[in-house]
Structure 1
Amino acid sequence: MSPTGRGLLECPTYQPVTSLAMLSADNPILNSPYDEPARHYATDAQGNLNYRDIRPGRRLFTPDVPQVPIGQQNQGSMFDLNDFQAEYGEHLINRLRDELRTWRDSGYRGVTSRVTRDLLDYWFANPERAAHQKLFFAQQEAVEAAIWLNEVAEKSNTGTHLQSAAKMAGKWKAERTKTRCCAAFSAASRPGAGCW
């Protein structure tokens, strides 16, 4: 059972896969949206899924491979991206996921404020919270990441490294976004119009 208190069978639209015949592009769901992914399909280098090859664990984030495959293509050589743990395992997102999992399993040890602790308990460990108010796992992980990076990360070497890497990635993205917005704004505005 996850910290959300919802199991696979409690999700009204989730139907567990009971045979290989059930697996297809029409029924691709392997995991509950309320729990951390426990299984995934093997993927080729273009991001195409092999619906007959289910692998244990969560798929690694790989920046070079599309996370959402585009259309159906001929089946190429299938491999599991998790076979590339050595190459992608140290990526910022994969390391952050590992740290968040450890932190979640420890009961959110190291939270600095009582208010944050109460909110985490209310959102993710409250059995009285109505089922329709529960967050999806992706939403939960986003909240956990924001809190961990701001309150807990600086207390560990790994956290400090991830915190600085996340800040650098954020600055790069912010600068890139600002440059694109300024170019679009300037092109659409009257000549000589400035940008923030």
Structure 2
Amino acid sequence: MAGKIEPDMIIEYYKDWNSDKHGKRIHRRVLRHYKRLKEGRYLKKGMLAKGHSGERAIPIIEAIITDENTYESAVNVPNDGIIENLPQDLVVECPVTVDKDGVHGVKWGMLPKNIAAILRIEATIQDLCVEAILKKSKDIAITSLAVDPNVGSFKIAEKIFTEIKSNSNYYDYFK
């Protein structure tokens, strides 16, 4: 959604981002996709759609080159003070402005503590996953699963890791 920036546009667009209404929309979308998948209504030859992906890289590059001063609703950028109560070295998806000087995240300030806590946990899990791959460490991979609140124990994490590894030739490098 590119266009000229209006100051109140960002706040208005996102004012219900954590509302019950927003959560219900996401839930309906997930159910719709699940139903399509169960009915076999997705592509048989692959999961890539033949049309446009909706990715915004080209319009962003164009806005930088032409100094258009545009707005994008969701771009992955380094946190760098955008969300004050999250680690600064995270990559966050947020609204941005784009001009000849690049992509600039719109400052959010502080997230509610409960949401920030969940995001910090998720960031730690992702960091452990990357470390497990870089170090080829089975122990770190299992730890990354175990600290996920949806898994909750090392015993379950070991079972999950064993199951994943047994179903793929891609994980042979874990020691």
Bigger relative CO (Cα 8 Å, ≥ 6 apart): 1
Length-normalised TM-score, structure 2: 0.27
Higher strand proportion, which one?
A: 2
